[in-house]
Chains A and B, each alone.
Chain A
Amino acid sequence: MENLQVDALVVGGGIAGMQAALDLADQGFKVVLVEREPSIGGKMITLSKVFPTLDCCSCITTPKMSSVAHHPNIQLLTYCELQSVTEAAEGFRVGVMQKPRYVDASKCTGCRNCEYECPITVPSPFDRGLGAYRAIRVPFSTAVPQAAVLDMENCILCGKCEKICAANAVDFTQQPETFDIHAATLIMASGFELTPLNAKKEYGGGALRNVIDPLMMERFLAPTGPYGRVLRPGDGKEPTSIAYVQCAGSRDTTLGVEYCSRVCCMYAIKQAMLISGALPLAEITIYYMDIRTFGKGYEQFYQNAQAMGVEFVRGKVASIREDAEQNPVVKVELTEESRTVERTHDLVVLSLGMLPATGSNEILGLPLGTDKFIAVPAPNASPCATAQPGVFVAGTAMGPMDIVDSIVTASAAAAAASAYIREHQKEAVYA
């Protein structure tokens, strides 16, 4: 068991957690960043390009990941689960369990020889299961730390990886490691989960292979994606007609999700533009109820998409079925024309919304809002303060928001946390 004493513990290594950690560390505070996955980067690192600037996503994310890894005031704990959080004198005691990577991350050079040697291929969650990696692998090309991780569930213990590793980093006998961390303040940046693809049965997600989720499309559009191009996952066809179903999982009382997920309009429009670039002949239709392009520069982005020929159809999608050629057939009520039509597409993207991530929120036992995201009792006074003094929230852990808003709330949470440390901790570790 390792004991750590820090000013702040940040839960979650996505964009919000990284930004909050960096802002605190830049002020001289000692920070531990705890991430559940083997690499930091969160959902953002899986995206292709980001709206409205169409910057390539890794150009924005990877340098932040690198800054976190190199910052002298940040200690990074990846592949870790929160075990317990208790109030303690002047702060919190947090129990963290680091899962075994079966690779000594301090020795691993990220050469990936083990990955090429490994005989077992498994679906990669980084590619939403549509791409693959090996039972031992570096999680993705720009992962931080750049170290392999072995998935014991799919390992035959053949020992090939251990043999080929020049750094002698593979260790099949690694055990979980626990950390006892004393932190003056906590920042919850535990993020979101995408609405499950099969949440709304009428839409056929999960059953119909060519009805996909938007993060799959992000991977198809990314240069490191599973196919290296946009293909539909059912049979590898290059789609010429692609449809987006907006509010699939948001603003839907039947799913118990009454709220708007804020990003779906913009990501659908962005993907439509990127697809137009990748497949100039493709026809793209967006079925929507209200277009919500409310951010800075977003309305212009929407107008540009209209000018590019993306078809916006105001309508409510009732159901999606499949024809004999695996083509999704969308039944849509055209709300401006009082009629229902069926339209056949090659590929349908369900513009799924955001649900709160589970796991660490429960460990803390923080009060949640009716939307199940972490409650912020006084949004118009302390927009990042949770119901628990000393615990702050950043990014999508407090509700759906886009990257810009996540980054701003992360900096705001860092400001609130640093003020709290100075006011409640007689001697900050930073001294």
Chain B
Amino acid sequence: MSELKVEAKSRSEMLKQLREAHAVTVEQAQGLLRAQKQMHQSICKFIRENPKTVPEIAAAIGKPTHEVLWFIAASKKYGLVVEVGMCGDYPLYQRAKEAQE
């Protein structure tokens, strides 16, 4: 057990101290989290009602197609987005909540 854990009076204080110790990476990760939240919200808004392809989503939210695909793949893995058929050569994706209704 490290000194930190012994010294810290409470769990929240320990986390606070750790955040200070890792200030640089924590700040970067917080930036990443904000960007991901924004991306997630704008994608989900667009594919809530109707399933869309990656190029359609990219055009709608103004992001590159490869970034959108990566995000869709990630969301799919954690059950937030599902694939619902094809449109031409492109799979269609929809938010899981609505697609499963």
**Is B89 part of the binding interface, using a Cβ–Cβ cutoff of 8 Å?**
yes
**Is A125 part of the binding interface, using a Cβ–Cβ cutoff of 8 Å?**
no
B68 contact set on A, CB distance < 8 A = 236
**Is B97 part of the binding interface, using a Cβ–Cβ cutoff of 8 Å?**
no
A173 near B65: Cβ-Cβ < 8 Å: no
**Is B91 part of the binding interface, using a Cβ–Cβ cutoff of 8 Å?**
yes
When each residue 55-91 of chain B gets 1 if its CB lies under 8 Å from chain A and 0 otherwise, what string results?
A: 1001000000110111111101110000100100111
B29 contact set on A, CB distance < 8 A = 120, 135, 153-156
Question: How near does chain B come to A74, taking the closest CB pair, in angstroms?
Answer: 28
**Is B11 part of the binding interface, using a Cβ–Cβ cutoff of 8 Å?**
yes
A237 near B26: Cβ-Cβ < 8 Å: no
A132 contact set on B, CB distance < 8 A = 70, 73-74, 77
B58 near A227: Cβ-Cβ < 8 Å: no
A173 near B4: Cβ-Cβ < 8 Å: yes
Do A233 and B66 form a contact, CB below 8 Å, given A175-B2, A238-B91?
yes
Question: How near does chain B come to A281, taking the closest CB pair, in angstroms?
Answer: 10
A123 contact set on B, CB distance < 8 A = 70
Do A235 and B25 form a contact, CB below 8 Å, given A159-B11, A226-B73, A240-B89?
no
A229 contact set on B, CB distance < 8 A = 91
**Is A157 part of the binding interface, using a Cβ–Cβ cutoff of 8 Å?**
yes
Do A236 and B65 form a contact, CB below 8 Å, given A131-B73, A229-B91?
yes
Interface residues of A in 388-431 (CB under 8 A from B): none
The residue on B at minimum CB distance from A135 is B29
Question: Among the interface residues A134, A135, A155, which one has the most CB atoms of the partner chain B within 10 A?
Answer: A155
Inter-chain residue pair count (beta carbon < 8 A): 107
Question: How near does chain B come to A221, taking the closest CB pair, in angstroms?
Answer: 15
Set A130, A153, A162: member contacting B70, Cβ < 8 A:
A130
A157 near B33: Cβ-Cβ < 8 Å: no
Interface residues of A in 319-338 (CB under 8 A from B): 326
A119 contact set on B, CB distance < 8 A = 33, 36-37
A209 near B66: Cβ-Cβ < 8 Å: yes
Question: How near does chain B come to A156, taking the closest CB pair, in angstroms?
Answer: 5
The residue on A at minimum CB distance from B15 is A159
**Is B14 part of the binding interface, using a Cβ–Cβ cutoff of 8 Å?**
yes
A155 contact set on B, CB distance < 8 A = 22, 25-26, 29
**Is A231 part of the binding interface, using a Cβ–Cβ cutoff of 8 Å?**
yes
Do A228 and B83 form a contact, CB below 8 Å, given A121-B36, A236-B91?
yes
Set A130, A159, A171, A236: member contacting B53, Cβ < 8 A:
A236
B26 contact set on A, CB distance < 8 A = 155-157
**Is B43 part of the binding interface, using a Cβ–Cβ cutoff of 8 Å?**
no
**Is A116 part of the binding interface, using a Cβ–Cβ cutoff of 8 Å?**
yes
Question: How near does chain B come to A233, taking the closest CB pair, in angstroms?
Answer: 6
Interface residues of B in 18-42 (CB under 8 A from A): 18-19, 22, 25-26, 28-30, 32-33, 36-37
Bound Cα distance A280, B30 (Å): 44
A237 near B33: Cβ-Cβ < 8 Å: no
